[in-house]
Amino acid sequence: MKRIAIIFGFNLLILAQHLTGQKPKLMLPIGHTDKVYTAVFSPDEKRVLTASGDNTAKLWDVASGSLLRELKGHIGEVVSAIYSPDGKQILTASYDSTARLWNAATGTFIRELRHNNSVTSAVFSADGKNILTTVYSIYGTNQISMAVIWDAASGKTIHKINLEKNSSKSAVFSPDGKTILSSGDTTKLWDVTSGRLLRRFRHEEFVKSAVFSEDGKQIATAGAYTLRIWNGSSDAVHRKVIYNYEFVSAKFTADGRTVLTMSADQALVIWDVASGKLVKKLLVNEGKFVSPSSKGNEDKFEHVVSSFNVISGKSNEEIEGHKALFSP
């Protein structure tokens, strides 16, 4: 993971691991008109793709901050937008009960994947051949939560998996594409071919984020105040971390040795998987790294590539807001 895109309210902050001394700049002349749900990088890290409640997804140039393209056509909030692994297509998910495929180079609409209920997430498999969407809705006392697997080339449905009224609004493929992991009241592991439930990972709290490590051997689940690291081949908890603020999302670093979390205190925290200890904490509002071993000494964070408001287009000297997400 070379760069991270973090959303706080309407503000997008781009961080990099190997760039220093970059001053925040004015970036966006034209922005979204509603909240931004997600921000992800293109595979070459030259562009950022944002999904918004204004029914659009937008593509931005990282270097200049200019708006490159607007993907219009959804009639409901666009809650996620991602690139295909080869970077040639964009996949959007919307509350209008559809997921849509777009040509990443031209912004041309390719195909619609229609559902009977709101689409709450959509992802590609690692090889780009399949698409996984989740749908969720409540009708009175009836709750619908389902995962749908599609053939990316034809748009045909391959399989549907009933997520057992799990209040699940998201699911991801394992790196080998053989299983999917759903988050919600209980995190569950499912077999892609049969749709059979393989394993439950029990949290005392609602799980907002559940992800695989890149080798598929570990799973991280982030509940309200608890981060758990699991053995991917069993339901055994390898490590449990309790934090004072609610977790928003979690992601393994490429080597699987650390986990990055975003939390309600507007901090990006790095956790050591082996020990469960906090390694470093980035206070995004203050631009500082805080190390537990620094005894009060704080390192100024100098890896800000750019910072801008995705509505006003104004540069941010300070990032404000409540919700935080970071890119895959």
| Tokens at 188, concatenated | 């569950």
- Reported for 183-190, long-range contacts at CB under 8 A and 24+ positions apart, including other chains, are 183/207, 183/208, 183/209, 183/210, 183/221, 184/145, 187/219, 187/221, 188/163, 188/164, 189/219, 190/147, 190/161
Are 168 and 182 in contact by the 8 Å Cβ rule? The answer is yes
SS3 54: coil
- Residue 62 per-residue DSSP state: T
Contact between residue 189 and residue 179 where contact means Cβ atoms under 8 Å apart = yes
- Matching residue, tokens 């509505």: 311
**CA dist., res. 96 & res. 238, Å (int):** 39
Residue 326 domain flag:
no
Task: Identify whether 46 is part of a domain.
Answer: yes
Strand-pair category, 298-300 with 3-8:
unpaired
Q: Note whether residue 272 is domain-resident.
A: yes
Which residues, in sequence order, are bridge partners of residue 37?
none
Residue 24: partners with Cβ closer than 8 Å, 6 or more residues away: 304, 306, 307, 308, 315, 316, 317
Is the model's pTM score more than 0.75?
yes
Domain membership of residue 144 as a residue range: 3-309
The residue count of the chain comes to 328
**Does residue 314 sit within a domain?**
no
Please indicate, yes or no, if residue 328 is contained in any of the structural domains.
Answer: no
Q: How many domains does the chain have?
A: 1
268 in a domain, yes or no?
A: yes
Residue 51 pairs with which residues in a beta bridge? 38, 57
Q: Are 15 and 4 in contact (CB under 8 A)?
A: yes
Residue 108 pLDDT: 96
Q: What is the pLDDT of residue 206?
A: 85
The DSSP call for residue 73 is -
For residue 10, what is the enclosing H or E element? none
Q: So what's the pLDDT on residue 25?
A: 40
- Position 214 scores a pLDDT of 92
Classify residue 131: in a domain, yes or no: yes
Could you list the pLDDT tens digit for every one of the 328 residues in the chain?
456 665 555 555 555 544 333 343 434 435 778 888 888 888 888 888 888 899 999 998 877 778 899 999 999 999 999 999 999 999 999 999 999 999 999 999 999 999 998 999 999 999 999 999 999 877 666 777 889 999 999 999 998 988 876 567 789 999 999 999 998 888 899 999 888 999 988 877 888 889 999 999 999 999 889 999 998 777 778 899 999 988 888 889 888 999 988 888 777 788 999 999 998 887 655 544 454 544 444 443 333 333 333 333 333 333 333 333 444 4
Give the domain CATH number at 212.
Answer: 2.130.10.10
